[in-house]
Amino acid sequence: METEYDKALSEIKEKCLKCHKCPLGETKTNTVFSGGVPNSKLMLIGEAPGYYEDMQGEPFVGKAGQLLDKILGCVGFSRKENIYICNTLKCRPPDNRDPLPDEKLACSEYLDAQVKILQPRIILLCGRVAVHSFIDTKLGITKIRGKWFEGPYFSKMMPIFHPSYLLRNDSREKGSPKWLMWQDIKEVRRVYDQLD
Ligand code: URA
């Protein structure tokens, strides 16, 4: 049976799929609304769809997405079971350029609705663009990654590195971006396991 929750989510998704509030609605191939399971305690918010995501209509399916799945999988998180994944923008910016302020503003209706309807307990802000959509700070991601912040609807939010940054930094040595990501994801799992 369809619940109020399912109905609210499918209504906002339908609206998003038809959206032309910004010019990206004209240039995209597919809208990338979300992946993973809606009824999750854990939500991950990335930046915007890239080439492969735009082709397939799924978030994080390219190289960065494959690395992300590996990292999440190391602590037992998977999009089939326990995580909901979406992006700040639902349509691909041409040539993967940074989202423009007007595009973020136009798309915030959808992201805000996803957070309000799903009310995840933990929100992972993956990369600079997602961080700046929720946290008003001049500090770079290297300064605030791995720290907990109060999020909307009594959630806990943590900024984490974007996997494409990790792809450019291969070292696994102590203190390297990959090593720091490993500490962060273990901390997320620890707090997740304490949720009631
Ligand atoms: N990078 C993102 O931030 N999101 C995606 O869906 C793919 C790559």
Q: Per-domain residue ranges for the chain?
A: 6-194
- For the purposes of burial, counting CB atoms within 10 Å of the CB of 72, is it exposed (0-12), middle (13-18) or buried (19 or more)? buried
* Token reading at 193: 């396991």
State whether the beta carbon of 36 lies less than 6 angstroms from ligand 1.
Answer: no
Pocket probe mutation, ligand 1, options 24, 29, 31, 53, max atoms within 8 Å of Cβ: 53
Cα–ligand 1 centroid distance for 154 (angstroms): 26
Instruction: List, for residues 96-136, the tens digit of each pLDDT value.
Output: 999 999 999 999 999 999 999 999 999 999 999 999 999 99
- The rounded mean pLDDT for the chain is 97
Cα–ligand 1 centroid distance for 28 (angstroms): 14
pTM of the model: 0.97
Cα–ligand 1 centroid distance for 1 (angstroms): 32
Instruction: List, for residues 6-42, the tens digit of each pLDDT value.
Output: 999 999 999 999 999 999 999 999 999 999 999 999 9
Q: State the Cα–Cα distance between residues 47 and 26, nearest whole angstrom.
A: 19
How large a percentage of the chain has pLDDT more than 90? 97
Instruction: List, for residues 165-174, the tens digit of each pLDDT value.
Output: 999 999 999 9
Which CATH fold would you assign to the domain 6-194?
A: Uracil-DNA Glycosylase, subunit E (3.40.470)
